[in-house]
Copies of this chain bind each other. A is one copy, B any other.
Amino acid sequence: MKFVTLADVRAAAGRMEGVVLRTPLLSSLTDTGRSLWLKPESFQPIGAFKLRGAMNAIACLDAERRACGVIAYSSGNHAQAVAYAAKRYGIPAVIVMPDVAPRIKAEATRAYGAEVVEVPIGEHEATAHALAVERGLTLIPPYDDATVVAGQGTVGLEIAEDLPDVDVVLVPVSGGGLASGVGVAVKALRPQAQVIGIEPELAADTAEGLRLGHQVDWSVADRARTIADGLRAQPSELTFAHLRKVLDGMVTVGEDEIRAAVRALARRARLIAEPSGAVTTAACLFHSHELPPGKTVAIVSGGNIDPALLATLLA
């Protein structure tokens, strides 16, 4: 297996300039007893880090193939990321979504100019593969791809550049693209820093897998229990291998802790985070004793939360 390198991440950074925001580090929630900075990927144009991987993946296609267009299956942030990135390249994009996805997600994806194909749940992956062949489109995977991992790794590159003496980086883990890329970049630039993956207890397949030393398979139904809807995937062979190599540990957080972290980010850091983006903050607030000491960056991976849910959590 070929591992993603710091050079790959650096190259990715060069390919997304002017489209992806270099998010700031915000010093915040200092009453957690640690020096804590938040990295708010919620401010990317689509509201989540996923744009980084999509931009790099599309940039890495050869020009002829790219011009034919791209396709992705997702009902979440990856859908909007691919749609947005394709629009920036002026190429066609098709997004296959389960027809049970909230209408607002299909609308948002169409607003970026993508064609949305809605199919019964469970069929979207197969439909995407079939349509890719039929129409000559290139499939952009959500995480099982070296160019996607390298793209997400630019989050780690920016952290290491902006806080060169960082001690601890907290990163949400789902399919593992973000955690893999961030780990590669941070460990290359600051080997003594510890990169800790954060999962919901209800979707802690990676914590279990790393403990056992091999991938484990949690049922979709089990993983669907968490409110953190962006953390219900599990790593591929590629990302699991990266996680084994670059993560220094895993910490899991409870559902009430995730809700409290969304609330704390809004009330005290004036940040709107989706539950998946708030798990790293939940770890700082409720599991600080399980984390290494020192200067800590918590990646707030996205901000696409249903306003009604946010209202409920704030009230």
Q: Which residues of A contact B (CB under 8 A)?
A: 21-24, 26-27, 42-43, 45, 47, 263, 266-267, 270-272, 303-304, 307-308, 310-312, 314-315
Contacts and interface: CB of A to CB of B under 8 A. Distances in A.
Contacts of A308: 314-315
A32 to B, nearest CB: 14
Contact of A311 (B27, B272, B304, B314): B314
A304 B269 CA distance: 10
Given A270-B272, A307-B315, 6 more contacts: A21-B24, A22-B24, A263-B307, A270-B303, A272-B272, A308-B314
Top 7 nearest A-B pairs by Cβ distance? A270-B303, A311-B314, A270-B272, A311-B315, A311-B311, A307-B314, A42-B270
Contacts of A21: 24, 26-27
A207 B315 CA distance: 36
A271 B42 CA distance: 9
Contacts of A267: 307
A71 B98 CA distance: 60
A310 B314 contact: yes
Nearest to A307: B314
A24 B24 contact: yes
A47 B310 contact: no
A19 to B, nearest CB: 10
B314 A47 contact: no
A133 to B, nearest CB: 35
Contacts of A263: 307
A308 B311 CA distance: 8
Most B CB within 10 A of own CB, among A23, A42, A43: A43
Given A24-B21, A24-B23, A266 B310 contact: yes
Contacts of A303: 270
A311 B266 CA distance: 11
A34 to B, nearest CB: 16
A299 to B, nearest CB: 15
B24 A45 contact: no
B24 A307 contact: no
A263 B272 CA distance: 12
A154 to B, nearest CB: 16
A196 B23 CA distance: 28
A101 B15 CA distance: 51
Contact of A272 (B27, B43, B266, B304): B266
Contact of A307 (B23, B45, B266, B272): B266
A27 to B, nearest CB: 6
A8 B303 CA distance: 38
28 contacts: A21-B24, A21-B26, A21-B27, A22-B24, A23-B24, A24-B24, A24-B43, A26-B43, A42-B270, A43-B270, A47-B270, A266-B307, A266-B310, A267-B307, A270-B303, A271-B272, A272-B272, A307-B314, A307-B315, A308-B314, A308-B315, A310-B311, A310-B314, A311-B311, A311-B312, A311-B314, A311-B315, A314-B314
